[in-house]
Amino acid sequence: MQTIDTSTSIFKKPPFTLALAEELLTSYNSPLYVYQSDILQRTIARITNAIPYPQTQFCFASVTNGNIALLQIFQACGWGLHANTPGDIYLGIKAGFAPNKIVYSGSNLHQNEMEQVLRWGVTTLNLDSLSQLRLCCEVYQSLRESQQILTPPRLGLRLNLPELTGDSRIGVRSTEFLAAISIAKAAGLKLSGLHFYRGTGTNSTAAFTQVIDTIIAVAQQLPDWEYLDFGGGFGYPYRGGTAFDWELFGAELTDRINRLDRVINLIIEPGRSAVAGCATLLAKVVSTKWQEGKQIVGVDTTVANLSVPSVHGGYREIYSWNCEDLLHLTDVCGNTTYSRDYLGKNCQLPALAMGEILAILDVGAYGYAMSSHFLHRPRPAEVLLENNQHRLIRRREDYRILLANQVFE
């Protein structure tokens, strides 16, 4: 027996009116990513207000979405940027973030990349290994001697604590702290920060609150401890389910830090939790068929325009503006021959006809950011709804993109 998905978005409030959806597709064609500024700003405000600790800097994890127009909204709301790669930093600077508002927490940079990060003026770096710390110190010394940089970076370690982070490749064990302190000291630098990354997409509030005391105790092993970068990994309740309780987390984290005998700067780095819910992927129905009572709907987009379901949150909810009462078990399929090209499986949707519009919800995180040219489909455009107006924030690709940077006669 096939399982019916009773949490499909047919029961949810639509993201906007059908008339607006039609207007958007008439103006920009289908498929189309649509971001809603009001939803994004409300989410930013809620997260910001949830943590009352005054020395808190929120940094948006741009790995989840690198569109300049959206980054500028975060910047205007007073957030910094959390970067996992030099590309994140590059986009952040182009969006208007001051380098001292960008925190780098990444892995496995080679020497030229490390030089670039420091030359850009990024001053807070959470490093993933002793070898990356050593490289950073060597590059810093070289750039300082040649007077290419004058401000010493603020260095931290990404923490790997198996009892908290599980079997993770990321970070440094606390048993390596003494060696790390020695490496930094030899370069005239201090290790002043600790970065705790819980793991991607965690909705359990307790997974964060129950480890606060342990993380603080570990951080106090650093004699020059000045900042705590707590999270990454905050999840988003796709298709219902448990939502992360920002207010509870903020109250408990503030209480623990306020008990310390020193002032600690706190960095919080939401990604998907801040941006996932503000975006919709609009698509049109291009084919329908029935198999043993199940409706098979083909649309003009593909799973290549969304993150891999098994990695980043499963299928998104799918909304139809069709108001028929009779619902059918439905698979929504993409426009490639990839056998797993499903935008949704076992949804409940009305009988659909060619040309109807579907809305795939909650695609703001790891949507365009993880889209690809798989099976050589150009990527959709992106638009922003803001102050009752819509504007293009990324052009639609055409087939010429498939030849970009190729060398041939």
pLDDT, one tens digit per residue, over 128-175 is: 999 999 999 999 999 999 999 888 999 999 999 887 767 788 889 999
Percent of the chain past pLDDT 90, that is, above it, reads 83
Domains of the chain: 9-35+276-399 (2.40.37.10), 98-270 (3.20.20.10)
Rounded CA gap, 346 and 294, in Å?
9
For 28-83, write each residue's pLDDT tens digit.
999 999 999 999 999 999 999 999 999 999 999 999 999 999 999 999 999 999 99
Q: Is the dihedral of CA 37, 40, 42, 44 positive or negative?
A: negative
Would you state the pLDDT for residue 5? 39
| 8 A C-beta contact, residue 371 and residue 396 | no
Rounded CA gap, 199 and 166, in Å?
9
Q: Is the dihedral of CA 161, 167, 170, 173 positive or negative?
A: positive
| 8 A C-beta contact, residue 375 and residue 302 | yes
Mean pLDDT of 245-252: 97
Rounded CA gap, 203 and 210, in Å?
14
Would you state the pLDDT for residue 263? 96
The residue that leads in pLDDT, 114 or 340, is 114
pLDDT at 278 over 90: yes
* Single-letter code of the amino acid located at 310: S
Rounded CA gap, 100 and 227, in Å?
14
Cα end-to-end span (Å), the chain:
55
Q: Give, to the nearest 10 degrees, the angle between helix 86-95 and helix 111-119.
A: 20
